[in-house]
Amino acid sequence: MIFNTLTKRYRSIFLFVGICTFVLFSSGCSTGNNRSEHPFYIASFNLDDSTSIDVLVSLSPDGLVVHNGEERVMLESRSEGLHNGFSDIYSVPVFNGAWVGHNVGSGWEGEWVDSLRTNDYQVPLTIRPLEIAATKNSFENEINTIWDTDLGKLKLKQKGDSIWGTFLTSTGDYRYQAGKINLSSGRFTLGNFDGIHLFLFEGTIRGDSIVDGVFKSGTHYSTNWGGVLSSENEVDWSSEQPWLEGSEIILRGINSNGNVVIWTPQDLIKSGHKLLVVDVMGTWCPNCMDEARLLKELSEDYPEMLVISMAFERSVGKEAVIRAAAFKKSLNLPWEVLVGGRANKSEADSALKFMGGIKSFPTTAFIPVYGAPVIHTGFSGPATGSAYEDEIAFFRSTIERFIRESR
């Protein structure tokens, strides 16, 4: 929830009303000055002197919970003692990094340190309690719209002055976004913190257009954008791409023990599995995390399928191997996560020539015991709703077809 164009007081009011609408229909939000009376707080990431990204957080016995619309991100406390309910260090799950700071009065201040970026990328961060009691507008009509924008297809849901949505692109989605819209001016903000990204989307709805759009990613990127109202729910791009016929199908990566592992179709036959699914990913990639979670679920349904992740990392050598092992452990993945090289599409393409070009992370190869592989580029995650259901249907139908044909 991002409200940098408003004063602190009204940003808090608008944020709180919107969150209570979506999250707290069945519970109240109290006021007061101690922890028990402040179950919810605002975490403000200061991008520069004029821009902040505000997200809702709540205290839990184990740490802090970030609320991105329907998504919950649990940041575990890493301090032995608490000060007014707060820890000095909160670890960011899956993507490493931490919130490091200290208690200040009834709040907290410090910084988010992203250890996966060069020189430990840091963003100043403050946490303050919410002071406004809940106003429930659950009787507001829900409005769903679809927009074709410079950033992708925007699916937007509005209830009163609260909005939720995500952008779909040919290589993935921007995951869960939430925020507010000014009902008089049409100016809106969307954003989130998912552990690796800080996103801010601003724009103004004017008739059937979105104008004066600004997209910011953390402190390092900013661009303008706009869009027009669309009547088409479906995207106009394909996620399937042809493989490079005649090329050698081979995987080569480093496992958690630091050893080189090589996989070929002959190894698949020897393993007794009917299908090999190669997940080309990076441990820095939220869309890759979403796909890994789906593949884990599917691996339980299809024991004849073998999964191997090929990680292309921002780090190199032993550090990359450790990072891949941490990702595997964090998501409790039952298959190997091999390090294939640096986080670069060209390097991934060179290492996996048979895929016909790595256009995005993740890219997924379905390799049967016999026959041609199917290459799937990009991934639309659970924030996209129907697009995610389409992904699940595609994954299941492809897996079932190859298993059936191999019997």
pLDDT at residue 177 in the model: 95
**Which range in 39-53, 121-135, 144-158 is most confidently predicted, on average pLDDT?**
144-158
Mean pLDDT of the chain: 88
**What residues does 303 pair with on adjacent strands?**
none
pLDDT band at 132; cut points 50, 70, 90: low
pLDDT at residue 139 in the model: 62
pLDDT in tens, 1-58: 333 333 333 333 334 334 444 343 333 333 233 334 458 999 999 998 889 999 999 9
Q: What's the CA gap between 363 and 291, in Å, rounded? A: 10
pLDDT band at 79; cut points 50, 70, 90: confident
Is residue 70 predicted with pLDDT exceeding 70?
A: yes
DSSP state of 121: E
pLDDT in tens, 226-273: 999 998 888 877 898 999 999 999 999 999 999 999 999 999 999 999
- HEC secondary structure over 261-303: EEECHHHHHHHCCCEEEEEEECCCCHHHHHHHHHHHHHHHHCC
Torsional sign, CA 319, 325, 329, 331: positive
Query: Which CATH fold topology does 240-405 show?
Result: Glutaredoxin (3.40.30)
Chain mean position to CA 11: 24
Is residue 137 predicted with pLDDT exceeding 60?
A: no
pLDDT at residue 5 in the model: 34
Q: Average pLDDT of 311-329? A: 96
Q: List the end-to-end C-alpha distance of the chain, in Å, as a whole number.
A: 51
pLDDT at residue 146 in the model: 96
* For the chain, domain boundaries: 1-233, 240-405
Q: What's the CA gap between 146 and 225, in Å, rounded? A: 15
**What residues does 189 pair with on adjacent strands?**
180, 202
Q: What's the CA gap between 398 and 79, in Å, rounded? A: 46
The residue among 301, 322, 189 whose CA lies nearest residue 254 is 322
Q: Give backbone dihedrals phi and psi of 2, rounded to 5 degrees, phi first.
A: -125, 125
Contacts of 213 (CB under 8 A, 6+ apart): 149, 150, 201, 202, 203, 204, 224, 225, 226, 227
pLDDT at residue 138 in the model: 56
Q: What's the CA gap between 141 and 282, in Å, rounded? A: 40
